[in-house]
Structure 1
Amino acid sequence: MCDSDYGICPYNKSHRIVLFRMPGHIIKCMRKYKGPPLIICKYNATHRMPAEQMEQHLEECADYQKFNAYENLQKALEARKSPQRA
């Protein structure tokens, strides 16, 4: 596996996890976590960070960018549809 197949646990930076196992791992680590509360990204639940870093995260979040691209595409397609005739 290459490095892009791995992620870093938001609760313990020394944990390097295969991405498809990250959701289960996060649940286990979250139970043991004693640090400041982490906020969950609205676009990818495996992205967690302190509240003050969320705005910066959204600027860089690939899932947020994909969501916006999809929303913009849907709006463009809707605008191109011809009016329905009765």
Structure 2
Amino acid sequence: MSFNDFVTCPLNKSHRLLRGRLDTHLVRCCRALDTQQKKKIVICPFNETHSVSAAKLLDHIKNKCTSNVSNFVNDMKELEEPKPSLKGVDNVPPKTAECEDDWDLEPDVGTYKPLHNCDDKLVVRSMKGQSRAVRQDFIYNERCRFAELKDK
């Protein structure tokens, strides 16, 4: 740790802390301020670690805030400039993939019903979420179903 790793809190000049802890500190320090001090301080829209007085915000954005303002301005310029296009490419229609299958002509298929599908097979089924009497009736019916299927 060197002296350059430490920064001064913009809300309270007596607070000195590591640069990496500034974000966390600002949240806690801002909570500790009274309402009068909170009204005077505004957070920079480009960098949350920049806290300045409301009167100096425009000056800060124009002159001092170099963190993301230049990137923001460059991004806006790129959006405004039209992108160059290749000659003749705009006139070519897009290629479509040819497919022999026509899904609209296929016959309708009924929905899958697992209980009806399992009625004629030796599949162990269970019932959950019912009362004890209903479960016991289900188990009895399942034993009868298994006996009939084994006799076939």
Q: TM-score, normalised by structure 2?
A: 0.46
Larger radius of gyration between Structure 1 and Structure 2? 2
Q: Which runs of 4+ in 1 moved over 3 A?
A: none
Describe the superposition over 1:51-80 as per-residue Cα deviations: whole angstroms up to 9, x where unpaired.
1010110021012223223433x247x534
Q: Check the 8 A contact 2:30/2:38 in 1, yes or no.
A: no
1:11 Cα deviation after fit: 1.4
Q: Distance in 2 between matches of 1:27 and 1:36?
A: 12
Q: Can you give the 5+ residue segments of structure 2 that lack an aligned partner in the other structure? A: 92-152
Q: Distance in 2 between matches of 1:85 and 1:25?
A: 54
Q: Distance in 1 between matches of 2:15 and 2:49?
A: 14
Q: Determine which structure has greater relative contact order: mean sequence separation of CA pairs < 8 Å that are 6+ residues apart, divided by chain length.
A: 1
- Name the SS for the 1:13 alignment partner: coil
| Structure with higher helix content | 1
Percent identity, aligned pairs only, is 28
Could you tell me which residue of structure 1 aligns to residue 72 of structure 2? 67
Could you tell me which residue of structure 2 aligns to residue 7 of structure 1? 7
1:45 aligned residue (45, 48, 51): 48
Q: TM-score, normalised by structure 1?
A: 0.75
- Name the SS for the 1:79 alignment partner: coil
1:36 Cα deviation after fit: 4.8
- Name the SS for the 2:17 alignment partner: strand
CA RMSD of aligned residues (A): 2.3
Could you tell me which residue of structure 1 aligns to residue 58 of structure 2? 55
- Name the SS for the 1:49 alignment partner: strand
Q: Can you give the 5+ residue segments of structure 1 that lack an aligned partner in the other structure? A: none
Query: In structure 2, do the counterparts of structure 1 residues 79 and 11 end up closer, same or farther at CA, with 3 Å as the change threshold?
Result: same
